[in-house]
Structure 1
Amino acid sequence: MTLLDLTPRATVTDRLATLPVVIIGAGPIGLAAAANLVERGLDFVVLEAGAEAAAGIRLWGHTRLFSPWKHLIDPASRRLLEAEGRWVPPADEDRAPTGQELVDEYLAQLAELDALRSHVRYGARVVAVTREGMDRTRTAGRAQTPFLVRVQVEDGRIEELTGRAVIDASGTYTTPNPLSSSGLDPIGQAEVADLVIHALPDVLGADRSRFVGRHTTVVGAGHSAANTLIGLAELAETAAGTRVTWLIRNASAARVSSSPEDELADRARLGSRVDQLVQAGTIRKIDSFEISAVSRQGKKVRLAGSRNGEPAAHDTDLVVNATGFRPDLAMLREVRLQLDDIVEAPMRLAPLIDPNLHSCGTVAPHGFDELRHPEPGFFLVGMKSYGRAPTFLLATGYEQVRSVVAWLDGDMRSAGRVQLTLPATGVCSTDAGGESSCCS
């Protein structure tokens, strides 16, 4: 598919230039995009489905991130906060905060800055994005036609607004991968929906009573699974009858790193701790289990499928679905996207983040050029830009939106000069049109 003209701001129609940039999502990446727009004097509106900034992070706020503070604060956002004069930066920037600390000590304060607060609309869920008066089949004049964003507000009413560009930073946390290995919901999913829990429940806090004295099976092989397994194991030490099973589809959980060479020390400790708990028998591990169906067995749920090619079944009281996440693309049906067939990331970005080849720290720096689509002025950023790949770090998203906003401002020199410092790989840098490189 041939990309349409990507004419920057300086040459678009007068009307288009007067419209705001529409940002979907007031999480860390959406707010970082807003901060960059503030610095460049460009108008914008942020549409957030939740009632507060970083609503998605608040859902798993009890969980500690494995990145330290120094990798979690966007440079443009830091400058705005420091200029305001009341923000107190984290005392130890080498410490990894919890999600709630990230919100309280950084994101909530950023969203309340005068330069951002009046531009953020809460309780505004985006349900569709298109071009004004155009479906995806119409081409003539498309690049000069405003985006039309349809929004459902808190009382259920539908509103529409127009924008010169759209930055979709809505994330993926609310759209988990299914339990089934086929990528589809397992047969019988609706029957047991009340016994299947979203990733990263607050096992030792608000959700504790749900798990005490019960057998919980965690499905998934990543760091979300590891966090939940450790919490359940701690609960099992004090709450009689509490049992923990870890079920994965592969022969090993390669994504739960325990390498001493991992510069994200908290991530390495996660893997080591899970290994110890499995070896001690606190966590029972079942590998090579492919789920195809689920059913209710009295008060329990049965996971049915195959293990090593033979029929298999596993009964448990509760299931935590920690199988990862995928982007919600339904609202983008009328947008011309160019996505990789495998990970559902922008076509140019996909080879850089392929989880079969890359970890979080080996992703090459990238910006507007790798993120663009055949729809001029539309960008997927942050976790949503990674599609189904689990290798995203906030620092990567911050550099994405810095580059995208520079492009929207017609600053091609800054947009193409992409530089990123990631743990385990040192400094990575690239210029648009050149070869990318990473120095370890």
Structure 2
Amino acid sequence: MNELPVVVVGAGPVGLAAAAHVLERGLQPLVLEAGFEAGAAVREWNHVRLFSPWAELVDPAAVRLLAQHGWQAPDPVRYPTGSDWAREYLQPLAVALGERVRFGARVVGVARRGRDRVVDTGRGSEPLTVHVATVEGEERITAQAVIDASGTWGSPNPLGGDGLPAVGERAASDRVAYRVPDLNAPQQRDRYAGTRIAIAGSGHSALTALVAFAGLAEKHPGTEVVWLLRRGTAGVFGGGEADQLPARGALGQRAAQAAEAGYVRTMTGFRTAAVHEDGDGRLVLTSFEGHKTEPVDEVVVLTGFRPDLSWLSEVRLELDPVLQAPTALAPLIDPNVHSCGTVYPHGAKELAQPESGVFLVGMKSYGRAPTFLAMTGYEQARSVVAAIAGDTEAAERVELTLPETGVCGGAGLFDGPDDDQGGGCCSAPQQQFVELVAPPVGKR
């Protein structure tokens, strides 16, 4: 079975890092990516700058592999955009891995060969099978292990305050966006300029959007923002100068300045129940308590993401019923208690599933918890691959020290992460990683 590949799902930062570790261990990685280029999800927020510098955004095994191909490392203290990260690191890494990365290959199922999840007999001796859909059709790949690094980008949380789409949300889909708009793009800028926009969410993606729209309002009179918070405003602007990720602290300060300057009107305690058109064709949002917004033209929903577990239905998983994260990991990442800087480094032990050889890593491993750093994912990948290779000592060893935020340490310090549900100051981007930061107001 050791001659079979280790299948990695997703060619994002953590997936490609896992593949580099697999290769370094003398095993054969096979990365299956639904998109058609490395970092496909990262490229969708290419206009946003990260909170972390280059030094904290590259994996050690990946760097060693890239060095063999003449890669020149970026300035370690520079803060890249999503586009920079994909172009200068992820794409060269995928090239270095060569044919071990397959694009346009969407994983639609994982199972134990010849066994559904109910069957015990012979389960331990059978390899895993990965079902893949491509433009040529479907195929089945046999694997010794599967590392799911597919992330959560494709499954944004809805506008509805109960976790389900608000009544009328789907019908208004042409005017509801679930990503931070790129206002440098003419089409996006023209869509929002001079309109009234409702922003739902209190995490750093929402702050990024507030700053961007405030800059738009400076140049385009008539642009208005209504900020919908499910709880209060206390703490939503972050730790400022006390934050050990300075760029993240600066984002909160700029968002607070935008709000104080009058570009943003805030509605607190607003949990959306329904969306409907008024007589003029504009949208009105109604809360579960019956409160209504003034008519708006556009809605930007930045309430976090959730994992897509549908294609893992035939393997045996043990997930926390609240966070949908591995049960051993969930207490360590509960956003009501922890920030990304207070999460204890973890690896294969916490990520292992009842289905031998199956691991969830990266944002997927955090389920609905938003407090994630790239460095955490790289450490997960290192430990998980060591376990697959049979190196128990390395799998259990901790090789990561995270920067503390300087502002978090327990529940109640923050009004809520990206989905407005509890503590957690590292819930920055809702953009696959927590390092996103917006440009200064009026300076694009």
TM-score by length of 1: 0.89
Residue correspondence of structure 1 range 184-333 to structure 2 within 5 A: 184-206=164-186, 207-252=188-233, 254=235, 256-297=237-278, 298-306=280-288, 309=289, 311-333=291-313
Alpha-carbon shift at residue 310 of structure 1 (Å): 5.1
2:67 aligned counterpart, secondary structure: helix
Distance in structure 1 (CA, Å) of the matches to 2:3 and 2:45 = 38
Q: How far is 1:419 from its partner?
A: 2.4
Instruction: Output aligned runs, 1:34-433, within 5 Å.
Output: 34-85=19-70, 87-91=71-75, 93-113=76-96, 116-154=97-135, 157-206=137-186, 207-252=188-233, 254=235, 256-297=237-278, 298-306=280-288, 309=289, 311-424=291-404
Taking the aligned partners of 2:296 and 2:276, their CA distance within structure 1 comes to 11
Query: Are the structure 2 counterparts of residues 290 and 132 from structure 1 closer, same or farther at C-alpha, using a change threshold of 3 Å?
Result: same
Which structure: greater strand fraction? 1
Q: Which string of whole-angstrom CA distances, capped at 9 and with x for unpartnered residues, describes residues 82-102 of structure 1?
A: 2222x11112x2232111111
Q: CA deviation at 1:149?
A: 1.1
- Shift, 1:314, TM fit: 4.0
Q: Which 4+ stretches in 1 moved above 6 angstroms?
A: none
Give the aligned CA root-mean-square deviation in angstroms: 1.5
Distance 1:126 1:341 in 2: 24
Q: Is the 8 A contact 2:284 2:292 kept in 1?
A: no
Match for 1:94: what amino acid?
V
Contact 1:191 1:296 in 2 (8 A): no
Distance, in Å, in 2 between the alignment partners of 1:296 and 1:130 is: 45
Following superposition, the deviation at residue 34 of structure 1 comes to 0.4
Amino acid at match of 1:414: A
CA distance in 2, matches of 1:171, 1:17: 26
| Superposed displacement of residue 296, structure 1 | 2.5
Aligned partners of 1:67 and 1:295: how far apart in 2? 40
- Stretches of structure 1 lacking an aligned partner (at least 5 in a row): 1-15, 427-440
Whether the 8 Å CA contact 1:111–1:117 is kept in 2: the answer is: yes
In structure 2, how many angstroms separate the alpha carbons of the residues matched to 1:312 and 1:239?
A: 26
Q: Which range moves more in the overlay, 318-327 or 210-219?
A: 210-219
- Cα drift, residue 203 of structure 1: 2.0
Report the alpha carbon displacement of residue 311 of structure 1 after superposing the two structures with TM. 3.4
Cα distance in structure 2, aligned partners of 1:329 and 1:304 = 31
Q: How many equivalent pairs are there?
A: 404
Native 8 Å contact 1:26 1:54 kept in 2:
yes
Greater RCO (Cα-Cα under 8 Å, separation 6 or more): 2
Q: Contact 1:199–1:225 at 8 Å: present in 2 too? A: no
Contact 2:22 2:28 (8 Å CA) reproduced: yes
Local SS of the residue matching 1:130: strand
Residue 328 of structure 1: how far off its partner (Å): 0.5
Contact 2:275 2:283 in 1 (8 A): yes
Mean Cα deviation higher: 257-266 or 362-371: 257-266
1:313 Cα deviation (Å)? 3.7
**Letter of the 1:220 counterpart:** G
Q: Which residue identity is paired with 2:123?
A: R
Contact 1:129–1:332, Cα closer than 8 Å, also in 2: yes
How far residue 129 of structure 1 moved from its aligned partner, in angstroms, is: 1.1
Task: Describe the SS at the equivalent of 1:319.
Answer: strand
Contact 2:46 2:83 survives alignment (8 Å): yes
With over 3 angstroms needed to count, the CA separation of the structure-2 counterparts of 1:189 and 1:73, relative to structure 1, is: same
For each residue in 1:61-115, what CA deviation from the matched residue of structure 2 results, as whole angstroms up to 9, or x when unmatched? 1011111111111011111112222x11112x223211111111111111111xx
Instruction: Work out the CA distance in 2 between the residues paired with 1:404 and 1:182.
Output: 35
